[in-house]
Amino acid sequence: MNPLIWATMTTTLLISTIITMSSNHWLLAWFGLELNTLSILPMIMKQHHPRATEATTKYFLIQVIAATMILLASTTNAWQTGQWSITHSTPTTTLIITMAIMLKLGAAPTYMWYPHVLQGVTMNTALLISTWQKLAPLALLYMIHNHLNHTTMLALGLLSATIGGLAGLNQTQTRTIMAFSSIAHM
């Protein structure tokens, strides 16, 4: 790949994460998440292989579904509260946003796409998806932590740790083990 294109994609990936992490407005946070998704897709597709194409398609569809859920919840929240601020949210919209963030992160119970995507990418891209791509959604989760239902978060955490730990025991491929380890640590 051309070094200039690679540098542009990497810069866009960094800027999109910073946009999401520093936003106070739901539309700006959504924009940062979408830019983040769009900047990682060429990196996933870098190797021209059918498994990379499949991984790119799965990753794109899952991330778009989660972004649509966030956009729906933030629009509903703005309709109910009259504000687009991240710090003002209703319990219903907080639950929808939490589920969308869990889908973006690949945490249980919405984790089934994650091992398949990591299996179809290179090891460097798998490391990027497992680390950097989780910073922006985790920052959003941290921004709404005052409104989160603690019982739901505890249940999701226990479910992720249990499923990731048990499913990772029977794996032999490094990227699949890495995927279930990431699910367990969510």
Q: Where are the domains of the chain?
A: 3-185
Contact call for residues 175 and 119 (beta carbons, < 8 A): yes
Contact call for residues 17 and 135 (beta carbons, < 8 A): yes
pLDDT at 141: 94
Helical segments of the chain, H only: 3-21, 26-44, 50-81, 91-105, 113-119, 123-130, 135-143, 150-169, 174-185
pTM: 0.93
Contact call for residues 168 and 110 (beta carbons, < 8 A): no
99-131 residue pLDDT tens: 999 999 999 999 999 999 999 999 999 999 999
2-56 residue pLDDT tens: 899 989 999 999 999 999 999 999 999 999 999 999 999 999 998 888 999 999 9
pLDDT at 36: 95
pLDDT at 46: 87
- What's the mean pLDDT when you consider all of the chain? 94
- pLDDT at residue 58 greater than cutoff 90: yes
pLDDT at 47: 84
* Percentage of the chain exceeding pLDDT 70: 100
Contact call for residues 47 and 122 (beta carbons, < 8 A): yes
137-148 residue pLDDT tens: 999 999 999 999
Token pair 């460097």: residue = 124
- pLDDT at residue 1 greater than cutoff 80: no
